[in-house]
Amino acid sequence: MQVQAVQGDIAQFKADAVIVNLFEGVTKPGGGTGAVDQVLGGILSQELQANAKAFKGKLGETWVLPTYGKLPARFVIIVGLGKQEEMKALQLRRASAAAIRACQKLKIKSAATLLHGAGIGGYDTEAAARLLTEGALLGNYKFTKRKGAKTTEENTDNGNSKDEFETLTIVEQSGDKLPAVEAGIRFANVIAQNTNLARDWVNDSANHVTPSFLKAQAEQIPGLSCTVLDFAQIKQLGMGAFELVAQGTEQPAYLIHLTYKPQGEAKKKIALVGKGVTFDSGGLSLKPAASMELMKMDMAGAAAVIATLKAVAELDNLPVEVHGFVPTCENMPSGRSSKPGDIVTAMNGKTIEVNNTDAEGRLILCDALTYAQKETNPDELLDLATLTGACVVALGKAAGGIMGTCDDLIDRIRKAGENAGEKHWPLPLYDEYKAFLKSDVADMINSGAKGEAGSSAGGMFLKEFVDKNRAWAHMDIAGPAWISADAPEVPKGGTGFAVRTLLYYLYNLA
């Protein structure tokens, strides 16, 4: 699907449908919606009145009318924007996604749309175009790549699965505004397509998305430099914790390092670290079947990091040096895999008693964190991981957990998430939780007091590998990385969670 912009009169535009909007509680439509109503001879407002109980203009509601030849388009789709005084980025994105869902239902190929909400709630033309485009592309996403032999040639491999809907045209009355609309579209294309790419990787199965697959994807991104450590190098560099997890599987493990360097001087250096466990069986501390079923998604942090770096390279206008580190391997039981009680030495010299091989995320991340800091000495260090089931228990699918060493950094990420339409809820790293790390035989244990503050325990473990005074945030995305109920802009399955947050954080977008 593509989004484009033209100057013109939406009522005269040739497309299968025209998308207009309505704020909740408004009975007499004005603006662009009112103009379309006039061309329709007042049918639209009559219908709205007649169906006032069924369609109220609530956020994400849609109502479809035939145009009976009064417009070049066959349908008018009215999308609810919610209450005008509550207008926020979320509304614009969600309304647009809902309109695209309505187009999917009508099985049409094209639509012309008003630029919802421009000039309202502080959203200028460019932001409104960006949010509309994001919503449309995110809402139109479907993972169809592995469906049926006959569809494979139609399925694209570029991060957007096969589309039925083809073209959305933003019709803008004033030609002066067109450049701003186009700028918004350009930005949103990159944000949404890379979110959809991350979704593809998370949705695809673990026999396809292996560590080698992630490595190959990372290596082929234009505009980034990519270096990859293999198992021998991981071992040689003293990453004993990562090595222990990686040794148990036939699939070769890698530590991928992607770098974006700006044209001019970099104002800041940021390192992102993403957990890339392409399948988490638990290892010898084997998961029960039901908990294992979805563990192809345990590389969602890695997907978010790689997709974000790819977006940054495509936009190529960020005055920040960005590094992406992805430790990637499988967590499997085998004759070579780690045994509960094994003791290893991590790259920073600390010894770890691995009492539970299912707490593997922190083992691969701790060495990646040490390595990332050694290699880049970043101003800000973020890690993203589907780290704990406890985080899903605490926050459900609605939000990721966030914790770290720098409140300002956490605030900025949370704010970025709010604007991006993703929630991150703070969890504490209290000194009391240090007790969770206590081992009788090593410096620390990888899985402490069961049933108590499990997400914070994971954070406390990782904190042991973060340099003093480093601004660091740990994002536990175990919940929102995968959902089983649709939201308009987030179809069920892999969500690509955090790609948007990271880009809004890096670009400081509102």
- Please give the span between the terminal C-alpha atoms of the chain, in angstroms, as a whole number: 25
Asked if 330 interacts with Zn ion (CB under 5 A), we say no
Q: What's the Rg (C-alpha) of the chain?
A: 24
Residue type, 254: Y
Given the rule CB under 6 A, which residues bind ligand BES? 280, 298, 356, 358-361, 386-390, 392, 447, 454, 478
Stretch that binds Zn ion, among 150-158, 360-368, 415-423, 453-461 (CB under 5 A): 360-368
CB of 298 to Zn ion, least distance (A): 4
Residue nearest to Mn ion (CB): 358
DSSP E strands in 432-503: the ranges are: 444-445, 471-476, 482-483, 493-494
DSSP string over 279-321: EE--TTSPPPHHHHTTGGGGGHHHHHHHHHHHHHHHH---SSE
Among 74, 162, 287, 412, the active-site one is 287
DSSP E strands in 61-219: the ranges are: 62-66, 75-82, 110-113, 167-172
Given the rule CB under 5 A, which residues bind Mn ion? 280, 358, 360
Interface residue with Zn ion among 361, 417, 480, 488 (CB under 5 A) is 361
Stretch that binds Zn ion, among 225-233, 359-367, 368-376, 469-477 (CB under 5 A): 359-367
**In this complex, which beta carbon is closest to ligand BES, that of residue 424 or of residue 470?**
424
**In this complex, which beta carbon is closest to ligand BES, that of residue 181 or of residue 384?**
384
**In this complex, which beta carbon is closest to Mn ion, that of residue 180 or of residue 478?**
478
CB of 238 to Zn ion, least distance (A): 23
Whether 106 contacts 64, CB under 8 Å: yes
**In this complex, which beta carbon is closest to ligand BES, that of residue 89 or of residue 364?**
364
- Is 287 in the active site? yes
Chain-centroid distance of CA 31 in Å reads 34
Question: Residue 109: which residues within 8 A CB-CB, separation 6 or more?
Answer: 16, 164, 165, 166, 167
CB of 340 to Zn ion, least distance (A): 16
Among 93, 94, 362, 500, the active-site one is 362
CB of 451 to Mn ion, least distance (A): 16
CB of 436 to Mn ion, least distance (A): 17
- Is 415 in the active site? no
Q: What does DSSP assign to residue 237?
A: T
Question: Residue 46: which residues within 8 A CB-CB, separation 6 or more?
Answer: none
DSSP E strands in 183-252: the ranges are: 225-229
Per-residue x/- mask for Zn ion, residues 260 to 289, rule CB under 5 A? -----------------x--x---------
**Residues with a known catalytic role:** 287, 362
